[in-house]
């Protein structure tokens, strides 16, 4: 048994189902070992796509997604997806091929110090230089990747080490036991909650990772506290729940901004500062905060908790519920915002404008998708509208990258989602800019049999940047580009393509596309004049009762 074969046995031991990647000269021995493995190797069309697939796999399952590349340019292509996973808290293990150790000390073809290169974008990076250490390195990699806060790790395997004889076996996987908050922290937090007149719960992705939806909903309901989620916390509480204030984190003021203006206590549950900077909602650091999380709070001048409840999030919430008393308190101010939010959302239900307004596009998408169906949003102007208007009944049914916020994630991410949930509808929502960054992975999707739908918000440019330029300078520059015929492009790849030609087309087209047994592409012209209109409304927003 050589090192590459031992590595693959260790990956099998970790429960790895898929490895996403590209073949190369320096990972040939790993690929050969995978030929006789239970692990399915999925050959992608670009390493960035492979890393995004592993990223979304990790975020949806809680188990590390694995991606593989060769050395040099293959490894540098992985980095965007690896960095995205690390900042978004998705467990991922990246494995790279490398030149032999006999030529690392000299200038050598395609050689880069990959351990040094991956160090800033991972939790841990290590090169295998002794075959006998392989099992320890793999076990540590997965343990670190999956430990709270999850993230990316990197293993570098030199070509000559991969072929060396290796003695050893995979190591036993240890179980992570629950941790519990201290009684003192619980009492401090419960006292603050009981005293507050206008409390507000801010929930983030950590609550999804902790599977704390039921406990969060129970605490909010019994204590009558409204809940706002970050972009990455969608679905922790059902959007139809009367206490749900939907999503916070837009760069403009929105109705929920008024809730933060009036609150006298924010209970941050599973909230990561990277999801929505506290300087946006607590710029002066005056709002009292109770931090409930699996880890202690990060240091930020706008995020200094008066109490930190650190431990298993569900257990912490239930213990806080048993200790808190809000009997006789009037309804918090935040609840008065919900009718305005609902009215704003519903006003686009019958909008017939064309090109389609983003609000209408998302309203119809929500109408077609079931509670358990999955949407992966790319990054761009459409992401801001998806964050604001696509509401969820379940966690992990609308995935938005908001830590690293990398364009190009939607199509690879949708492929991974469909592998995990073959019986659910999956839609990749993307702008025309993001679509062209990783659309080649639609061939991968066709080849591996993952039939999802890609919905393109087509405006012929980088709409989010145009939005910002118009806000700052009153005009835009350098943001327009040309597009291919997306329908013909899809058909040329063996997919099915559709073009929206009126607002009434969207619902029936979506339903038809989702019934197909091959990947589908829908080209929908979008009216992004709504961006500036929303900015104008945000500037005029009054929080007066």
Please, what are the domains in the chain?
A: 3-163 (3.40.50.970), 183-330 (3.40.50.1220), 347-536 (3.40.50.970)
Q: Where are the alpha helices (DSSP H) in 390-494?
A: 410-420, 432-438, 441-448, 463-473, 486-492
Q: Are 268 and 194 in contact (CB under 8 A)?
A: no
Provide the pLDDT for residue 520. 98
* pLDDT the model gives residue 544: 56
| Cis amide leading into 400 (omega within 30) | no
Query: Which pLDDT does position 323 carry in this prediction?
Result: 96
CA distance 25 to 30: 10
Res 472: pLDDT: 86
| Burial of 371 from C-beta contacts in 10 A (0-12 / 13-18 / 19+) | exposed
Please tell me the predicted confidence (pLDDT) of residue 251.
74
Q: Tell how far CA 508 is from the center of its chain.
A: 28
**Distance between CA atoms of residues 257 and 542, nearest Å:** 10
**Token duo for residue 314:** 């569900």
Q: Are 134 and 193 in contact (CB under 8 A)?
A: no
pLDDT of residue 539: 57
Q: What angle do CA 389, 271, 426 make, to 5 degrees?
A: 40
Which candidate, 292, 165, 188, 276, places its Cα nearest to that of 230?
Answer: 276
Q: What is the pLDDT of residue 545?
A: 52
CA 228 to chain centre: 17
Residues 89, 396: contact at Cβ < 8 Å?
no
Residues of the chain predicted below pLDDT 70: 535-536, 538-542, 544-545
* pLDDT the model gives residue 467: 84
User: Residue 495 gets which letter from DSSP?
Assistant: -
């Amino acid at each position: 048994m050589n090192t590459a074969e031992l590595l693959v046995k260790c990956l099998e031991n970790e429960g790895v189902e898929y490895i996403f990647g590209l073949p190369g000269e320096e990972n040939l021995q790993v690929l050969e070992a995978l030929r006789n493995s239970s692990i399915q190797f999925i050959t992608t069309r670009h390493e960035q796509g492979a890393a995004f697939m592993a990223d979304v796999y990790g975020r949806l399952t809680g188990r590390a997604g694995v991606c593989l590349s060769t050395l040099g340019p293959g490894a540098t292509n992985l980095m965007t997806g690896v960095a995205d996973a690390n900042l978004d808290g998705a467990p991922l293990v990246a494995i790279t091929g490398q030149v032999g150790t006999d030529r690392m000390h000299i200038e050598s073809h395609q050689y880069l110090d990959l351990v040094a290169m991956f160090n800033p974008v991972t939790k841990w990076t290590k090169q295998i230089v002794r075959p006998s250490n392989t099992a320890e390195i793999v076990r540590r990699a997965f343990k670190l990747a999956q430990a709270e806060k999850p993230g990316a790790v990197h293993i570098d395997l030199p070509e000559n080490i991969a072929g060396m004889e290796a003695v050893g076996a995979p190591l036993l996987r240890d179980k992570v036991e629950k941790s519990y908050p201290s009684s003192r922290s619980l009492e401090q937090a419960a006292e603050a909650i009981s005293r507050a007149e206008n409390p507000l719960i801010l929930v983030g992705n950590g609550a999804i990772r902790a599977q704390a939806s039921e406990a969060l909903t129970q605490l909010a309901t019994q204590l009558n506290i409204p809940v706002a989620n970050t972009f990455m916390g969608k679905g922790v509480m059902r959007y139809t729940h009367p206490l749900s204030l939907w999503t916070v984190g837009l760069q403009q003021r929105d109705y929920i901004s008024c809730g933060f203006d009036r609150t006298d206590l924010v209970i941050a549950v599973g909230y990561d500062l990277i999801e929505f900077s506290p300087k946006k909602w607590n710029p002066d650091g005056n709002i009292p905060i109770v931090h409930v999380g699996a880890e202690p709070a990060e240091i930020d001048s706008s995020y200094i908790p008066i109490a930190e409840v650190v431990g298993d999030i569900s257990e912490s919430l239930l213990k806080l519920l048993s200790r808190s008393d809000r009997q006789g308190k009037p309804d918090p101010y935040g609840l008065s915002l919900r009718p305005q939010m609902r009215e704003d959302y519903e006003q686009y239900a019958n909008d017939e404008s064309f090109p389609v307004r983003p609000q209408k596009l998302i309203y119809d998408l929500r109408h077609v998708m079931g509670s358990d169906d999955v949407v992966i949003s790319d990054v761009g102007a459409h992401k801001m509208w998806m964050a604001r208007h696509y509401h969820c009944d379940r966690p992990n049914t609308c995935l938005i990258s908001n830590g690293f916020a990398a364009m190009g994630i939607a199509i690879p991410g949708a492929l991974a989602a469909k592998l995990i949930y073959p019986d659910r509808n999956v839609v990749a929502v993307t702008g025309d800019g993001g679509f062209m960054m990783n659309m080649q992975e639609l061939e991968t999707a066709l080849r591996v049999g993952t039939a999802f739908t890609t919905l393109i918000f087509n405006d012929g440019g980088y709409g989010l940047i145009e939005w910002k330029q118009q806000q700052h300078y009153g005009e835009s520059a350098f943001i327009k580009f040309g597009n291919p015929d997306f329908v013909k492009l899809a058909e040329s790849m063996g997919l099915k393509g559709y073009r929206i030609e009126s607002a009434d087309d969207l619902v029936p087209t979506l339903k038809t596309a989702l019934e197909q047994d091959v990947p589908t592409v829908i080209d929908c012209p979008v009216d992004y004049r709504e961006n500036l209109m929303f900015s104008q409304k945000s500037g005029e927003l009054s929080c007066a009762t």
